[in-house]
Amino acid sequence: MKNTTRSFRLVCAQDQINDVESLLHAEGFRFEPQPCFALARTLTAEPMPLGRSIAARFGYIYIQDKSSMLPPLALAPESGDRVLDFCASPGSKTGILSSLVGPTGLVLANEPSPDRLATLRVNMRHLGCYNVATCKYEGQSLPLQDDSWPRILLDAPCSGWGTVDKNPKAAQMWAGEKTAPLEILQRELLTRAAGLLAPGGRLLYSTCTTNERENEDQVRFATEHLGLVTEPLAEFPGFRFAPSLPGCLLVDGEGSLAQGFFLAALKKPGQAEKSVRATKAELPGELVSRHEFSSRTGLDTGWLPEHCFLRVGGRVYLILEQAAELPAELRWQGFAVGKSAGDSILADATLRMFVPPRPDEKSLVLEQVSTIRELLSGQSLSWAGPGKRLAFYFKGLPLGFLTIKGNRCLWSDR
């Protein structure tokens, strides 16, 4: 059995932690909690690749270096907050932001690269981050109103010197003056982020490098030229930190058994003002109320925050009320939930967000991971209940829907 210092985080509500850990334990995984974050874990035994676990298959864990978890935690948005994630892909930090702001909050995740944007959207969908809207812009030209975002995360493109354990060529690729283009880009992004930041708001600047020119020098630029001020950051337990500017954190990767990382919290002076709602965008396609969606699909989404659905281009998207307030000039995408053709709507059976939070007498509750593995391998189970779709669970943990065919039920992720 393989011993490892790899870290990951649970992707679940507080009342689901025991069931997710039970699911991992049942497959032989062992791990320890990390003091930096209630959902962070470090593997101590990995009988097979963690990414092949049932918990990973259903989006209940995300493999992530523990240093990478720090930026959203340091930004510290509250429940219901609106957060702008400037350079979001692959979504490791976006997912934590989604959890922190909760169902009534909103994360606008931007990614300029089409390929990386596709990865971001796949990951957000797999993790069930329905309060994340995505868009594709160069960060320097995001079409958003100045002074309008109370929380901004700028995890900037960087040389990656802090990841040399996984990317040994990073320091060589970005040695000496080779980082100059990155430094210019970082300042451009910082300048735009400072403009979008609301008075009294917080901007968290982070990199996975230990290069002073990309870290401390950029903070000096922000304070000397952009009118921002640094806010002290408390050291996170479970880490060692190297010397840096006052108020900034530089993770000692070797001493922390993690990647090297830099974090700086920047504040725009002034008092937070009541935000003025942007003009709503005219969304393309057909808006479908949640009641109509329920009548067409048989799925109840009443436990989600206020929402509707959008049919466009053969796809169906969940549109939260808070996302509908995004400005009209911004092109963004909601949370993809299925397909449509004619009058029919086919919701994706793999989305556990549609599964009732608690099983009832019509649900299938499984206690053995071997049974789940059999379903995932294509085997079916006997079932005598009515309907075409069956919600199934591991203990109290929603997994998805099985398809009922005759007196059998089976799993399909198509």
Q: What are phi and psi of 118, to 5 degrees?
A: -60, -40
Q: Is-contact 286 315, C-beta < 8 A? A: no
By CB atoms closer than 10 A (0-12, 13-18, 19+), residue 359 is middle
- CA dist 150 and 196 (Å) reads 9
Assess whether 11 and 127 both reside in one domain. no
pLDDT at 106 over 90: yes
- 231-243 per-position pLDDT tens digit: 999 999 999 999 9
For 386, phi then psi, to 5°, come to -80, 175
Judgement on whether residues 232 and 181 belong to the same structural domain of the protein: yes
Give SS3 for 3. coil
**In this structure, what are the phi and psi dihedrals at residue 261, rounded to the nearest 5 degrees?**
-150, 150
Domain check: are 348 and 362 in the same one? no
Which one has a higher pLDDT value, 210 or 164?
210
Q: Are 398 and 315 members of one domain?
A: no
Q: What is the mean pLDDT of residues 357-383?
A: 93
Do residues 95 and 238 both lie within one domain? yes
**252 has binding-site annotation:** no
| Whether residue 126 sits in one domain with residue 25 | no
Question: Structural domain of residue 95, as residue ranges?
Answer: 67-267
Backbone angles phi, psi at 59, to 5 degrees: 75, 25
The reply to whether omega before 386 is within 30° of 0 (cis) is: no
Q: How far is CA 250 from CA 61, 139, 184, 236, in A?
A: 26, 25, 21, 11
In this structure, is residue 314 part of a structural domain? Answer: yes
- Confirm whether 162 is domain-assigned: yes
Which residues are CB-neighbours of 142 under 8 A, at least 6 positions away? 84, 86, 110, 135, 192, 196, 330
- Cα atoms found within 13 Å of the Cα of residue 68, Cβ hemisphere only: 22
Residue 81 among known ligand-binding residues: no
- For residue 303, is it within any domain? yes
Question: What does the chain come to in residues?
Answer: 414
Sign of the CA dihedral 130, 136, 139, 141?
Answer: negative
Residues 187 and 201 in one domain: yes
Residues 211 and 328 in one domain: no
Are 51 and 73 in a shared domain?
Answer: no
pLDDT at 153 over 70: yes
Model pLDDT, residue 174? 52
Instruction: Give the number of domains in the chain.
Output: 4
Q: Look at 106-115, 308-317, 347-356 and tell me which has the smallest mean pLDDT.
A: 347-356
Asked, for residue 1, whether it belongs to a domain, the answer is: no
Q: Which helix (H) or strand (E) element contains residue 381? A: strand 381-382
pLDDT digits (tens, 9 = 90+) for 4-44: 478 999 999 999 999 999 999 999 999 999 999 999 999 99
Contacts of residue 359, Cβ cutoff 8 Å, sequence gap at least 6: 365, 391, 393, 396
The tokens for 36 are 């930096």
The per-type count for the chain, helices as H runs and strands as E runs, is 11, 23
Structural domain ending residue among the three candidates 304, 326, 352: 352
pLDDT at 356: 87
Residue 276 resides in a domain: no
Structure tokens that stand for 396 in this block: 């109290």
289-318 pLDDT, tens digit each: 999 999 988 888 888 899 999 999 999 999
Under the banding of pLDDT at 50, 70 and 90, the label for residue 1 is very low
Considering the domain boundaries, does residue 307 fall inside one? yes
Would the pLDDT of 171 be above 70?
Answer: no
Side chain identity at residue 229, one-letter code: V
| One domain for residues 98 and 200 | yes
Shared-domain flag, residues 369 and 347? no
Does residue 159 sit within a domain? yes
If residue 220 lies in a helix (H) or strand (E), which one and from where to where?
Answer: helix 216-225
CATH number, domain of 53, equals 3.30.70.1170
- Asked, for residue 126, whether it belongs to a domain, the answer is yes
Share of the chain above pLDDT 90, in %: 77
What CATH number has the domain bearing residue 396? 2.30.130
The last residue of one of the domains, among 352, 369, 389, is 352
Cβ-contact 350, 413 below 8 angstroms:
yes
Domain boundary among 45, 63, 81: 63
Active site residues: 208
CA–CA separation, 325 and 279 (whole Å): 7
The CB-side HSE value for 57 (13 A sphere, CA atoms) comes to 20
pTM of this prediction? 0.94
Q: Please, which pLDDT band fits residue 244 given cuts at 50, 70 and 90?
A: very high
Per residue, what are the HEC states of 90-124? CCHHHHHHHHHHCCCCEEEEECCCHHHHHHHHHHH
Q: What angle do CA 276, 306, 112 make, to 5 degrees?
A: 65
- Same domain for 360 and 336, yes or no, is no
Q: Are 399 and 392 in contact (CB under 8 A)?
A: yes
Here the CATH number for the domain that contains residue 95 is: 3.40.50.150
How are beta strands 307-312 and 408-410 bridged, if at all? unpaired
**Token pair 């995505």 in the structure block, residue:** 134
**Mean pLDDT in the chain?**
91
Residue carrying structure tokens 């449509």: 340
